[in-house]
Amino acid sequence: MISVVIPAYNERENVTPLYEKLVEVLKDIGREFEIIFVDDGSTDGTFEVLKNIAEKDRRVKVIKFRRNYGQTAAIYAGFDHAKGDVIVTMDADLQNDPEDIPKLLERIEEGYDIVSGWRKERKDPLLTRRVPSRIANWVISKVTGVKLHDYGCTLKAYRSSIAKRYRLYGDMHRFLPALAKRFGAKITEIPVRHHPRLHGRSKYGIDRTLRVILDIFLVKFLNEYITKPLYVFGGVGFIMFSLGFLIELYLTFIKIFRGEDIGGRPLLILGVLLILAGIQLISTGIIAELIVRTYYESRGEKPYIIEEKINVED
């Protein structure tokens, strides 16, 4: 079974043609399918359009959020409610092409766990969208070790066993392939078509770049140190403590054996600060270890609130 998850925020003019095109493509594939629209707090009547579609076609499921929680929360909700063996995500703005879905599924059948789309000929503004995206993709690939040309492309296919492992918060949806590295997932990328936006306006701007850069550090931590945060905080703390200790040892030596005055030296204050900072970081690492264990043993809350469901079984 195939589940197609589509976050939608103020896409009233786009959801009907997208639904029609999707049904046409999915019928030709010849498998059972469901289409899950997640209305992320739209204010333009998107939900009413989706409700009309769902009343006519029970293969269409609609989840309505109480307010706008963001694309990551919408994808998370879609993953939670999807019943398919393969989950395909895509945007609701008609810039992703449903006709690329069969190509994604072919690579899944070849044994890959995640197949990511690459908008090789992207139809977005150069300076505000494409240039920042290229820089971000290069940095993410270098930091995470998962080389992809287009982390920002929503059109992706996941094995359900991989997708449902995630608890997604913030803006982490674009990093799903990098996060899946921790599970040993097999990941590949294929070129997909990209169309210019015809209706509505983009929800992303240049301000997203800073959030992406900050998230890169979080992904690196989640991939490498989520189960051993003491190695990060403790490692840095040990280096700082050692430097401070060596500074104080040097000052003690020149005080005792050379009789020099060290009370007014800035180096003395620096050494003390490094020792104290080192102790604090090591302590932080130990506390983080306890928090991680609590995290894994506790029951997490969902980062969204659903107001209404249509054709969705709990």
Examine the domain organization and report whether 213 and 247 are in the same domain: no
Report field, pTM of the whole predicted structure over 0.85: no
Examine the domain organization and report whether 76 and 138 are in the same domain: yes
Confidence label for 246 from pLDDT (cuts 50, 70 and 90): very high
Examine the domain organization and report whether 119 and 210 are in the same domain: yes
The yes-or-no verdict on residue 138 having pLDDT over 60 is yes
Examine the domain organization and report whether 77 and 131 are in the same domain: yes
Residue 270 falls inside a structural domain: yes
How confident is the model at residue 227, as a pLDDT?
A: 66
The yes-or-no verdict on residue 301 having pLDDT over 60 is no
What is the CATH classification number for the domain harbouring 139? 3.90.550.10
Residue 198 falls inside a structural domain: yes
How confident is the model at residue 210, as a pLDDT?
A: 64
The yes-or-no verdict on residue 201 having pLDDT over 70 is no
Quote the number of domains for the chain. Answer: 2
Distances (CA, A) of 279 to 32, 175, 266, 274: 58, 33, 20, 9
Bigger pLDDT: 244 vs 146: 244
Tokens of 135: 């820089």
Examine the domain organization and report whether 190 and 265 are in the same domain: no
**Averaged over 231-247, what is the pLDDT?**
89
How confident is the model at residue 297, as a pLDDT?
A: 58
167-188 pLDDT, tens digit per residue, is 777 677 778 888 888 778 899 9
Examine the domain organization and report whether 219 and 233 are in the same domain: no
73-86 pLDDT, tens digit per residue, is 899 999 999 999 99
Q: Which of 174, 191, 224 is the last residue of a domain?
A: 224
pLDDT over 90, % of the chain: 46
Residue 103 falls inside a structural domain: yes
Examine the domain organization and report whether 211 and 96 are in the same domain: yes
Residue 50 falls inside a structural domain: yes
Q: Which of 224, 259, 286 is the last residue of a domain?
A: 224
Q: Which of 191, 224, 257 is the last residue of a domain?
A: 224
How confident is the model at residue 187, as a pLDDT?
A: 92
Residue 303 falls inside a structural domain: no
Residue 302 falls inside a structural domain: no
Residue 219 falls inside a structural domain: yes
The yes-or-no verdict on residue 96 having pLDDT over 80 is yes
Residue 86 falls inside a structural domain: yes
Examine the domain organization and report whether 283 and 141 are in the same domain: no
Cα dihedral sign for 64, 69, 74, 77?
negative
Examine the domain organization and report whether 257 and 124 are in the same domain: no
Examine the domain organization and report whether 134 and 175 are in the same domain: yes
Examine the domain organization and report whether 48 and 154 are in the same domain: yes
The yes-or-no verdict on residue 195 having pLDDT over 80 is yes
- Of 243, 228, 237, 245, which is closest to residue 281 (Cα–Cα)? 237
**Averaged over 123-139, what is the pLDDT?**
74
Average pLDDT along the chain? 85
The yes-or-no verdict on residue 231 having pLDDT over 80 is no
- Provide the residue range defining the domain that includes 250: 229-295
Confidence label for 311 from pLDDT (cuts 50, 70 and 90): confident
Examine the domain organization and report whether 150 and 67 are in the same domain: yes
7-51 pLDDT, tens digit per residue, is 999 999 999 999 999 999 999 998 999 999 999 999 999 999 999
Bigger pLDDT: 257 vs 213: 257
